[in-house]
Amino acid sequence: MWIDTHCHLDAHEFGNESVAQAALAKAQGVDMIVLPAVEVANFAIVAQLAASVDNACYALGIHPIYVPHAKEDDLRVLREQVAAAMDDPRFVALGEIGLDFFIPMLTEPAMRDKQVFFFREQLKIARDFNLPVLTHVRRSQDVVLKHVRQIRPNGGIAHAFNGSAQQAQGYIDLGFKLGFGGAMTFTRALQIRRLAADLPLESIVLETDAPDIAPSWVHPGRNSPDQVPRIGAVLAELRGMTVEQVAATTTENAQNVLPRISVR
């Protein structure tokens, strides 16, 4: 049994195949797929997709790349929809939220400030509803850590983790798990592979970030959630463990950090 803790199955790259892709993943033992939202316009879409398959759940949030188009009122809508979704057993977290200081347009001073404002307000929503967060962290490890440390949501997942061992420990100390996926399958990704091998297994969850971050054997093609077991096998090899151990522990870790998840 496996959990894909981060997958954009509603992305346009999947066309009308989203439901079929979830079934394909299920056939490979992927019993749960977490679908993060990226903007108000797709809140209903991820919720409906999660409801229409038996192995998906969802998160609600405004992704940093969507912040330029977001209005302050979107935060009110988010808070309202989170309040309503607390009755939905398929709703598990606040996300995808975070800071992207890689894309040039997002690093201009005014946009940097707007990103930080949206990130902090969403961390407060997570804290108020006692929810974990799914974070997008790009060239912003220490700034994300600073705001999480100040506002303290109920843990979370640093998705597609790509920081230092010290930054990893910073997240772990705040009740976070670190998401590893396709990036770890490239032999040149020395730092990520070293961390995947050395971090406590209890701090690691698996993800695809499909349709993005394809593993080496799919690259440059479209990633999909049925790749999780093979990605997990890479982690097992890096750590000198059995695939069964990696599957069981990463599944347990995902359930611990996303306590609302119920694998059906």
- The residues that bridge with 204 in the sheet, in sequence order, are 178
Nearer to Zn ion, 11 or 236 (CB): 11
Sign of CA dihedral 69, 112, 130, 168: positive
Nearer to Zn ion, 212 or 249 (CB): 212
Question: By the 8 A CB rule, do 225 and 30 touch?
Answer: yes
For the CB of residue 9, give the shortest distance to Zn ion in the complex, in Å: 11
Nearer to Zn ion, 11 or 241 (CB): 11
Write the DSSP symbol of residue 98: E
Nearer to Zn ion, 138 or 239 (CB): 138
Where in 93-122 is the site for Zn ion (CB under 5 A)?
A: 96
For the CB of residue 109, give the shortest distance to Zn ion in the complex, in Å: 25
**What character string, x for contact with Zn ion (CB under 5 A) and - otherwise, covers 46-85?**
----------------------------------------
- Separation CA 183–CA 191 (nearest Å): 10
Question: By the 8 A CB rule, do 44 and 77 touch?
Answer: no
For the CB of residue 36, give the shortest distance to Zn ion in the complex, in Å: 5
Number of residues in contact with Zn ion, rule: CB under 5 A? Answer: 1
Nearer to Zn ion, 181 or 232 (CB): 181
Residue nearest to Zn ion (CB): 96
Nearer to Zn ion, 74 or 200 (CB): 74
Question: By the 8 A CB rule, do 6 and 37 touch?
Answer: no
Residue 189, burial from CB neighbour count under 10 angstroms (0-12, 13-18, 19+):
middle
For the CB of residue 245, give the shortest distance to Zn ion in the complex, in Å: 27
Question: By the 8 A CB rule, do 168 and 152 touch?
Answer: no
Question: By the 8 A CB rule, do 66 and 118 touch?
Answer: no
For the CB of residue 63, give the shortest distance to Zn ion in the complex, in Å: 7
- Separation CA 134–CA 125 (nearest Å): 13
Q: How large is the C-alpha radius of gyration of the chain?
A: 17
Of 71-79, 91-99, 145-153, 225-233, the window that binds Zn ion (rule: CB under 5 A) is: 91-99
Q: Could you tell me which residues come within 8 angstroms of residue 91 by beta carbon, excluding any fewer than 6 positions away?
A: 47, 57, 58, 59, 60, 82, 85, 260
For the CB of residue 105, give the shortest distance to Zn ion in the complex, in Å: 18
For the CB of residue 64, give the shortest distance to Zn ion in the complex, in Å: 10
Nearer to Zn ion, 4 or 96 (CB): 96
Of 77-85, 90-98, 226-234, 237-245, the window that binds Zn ion (rule: CB under 5 A) is: 90-98
Residues that bind Zn ion (CB under 5 A): 96
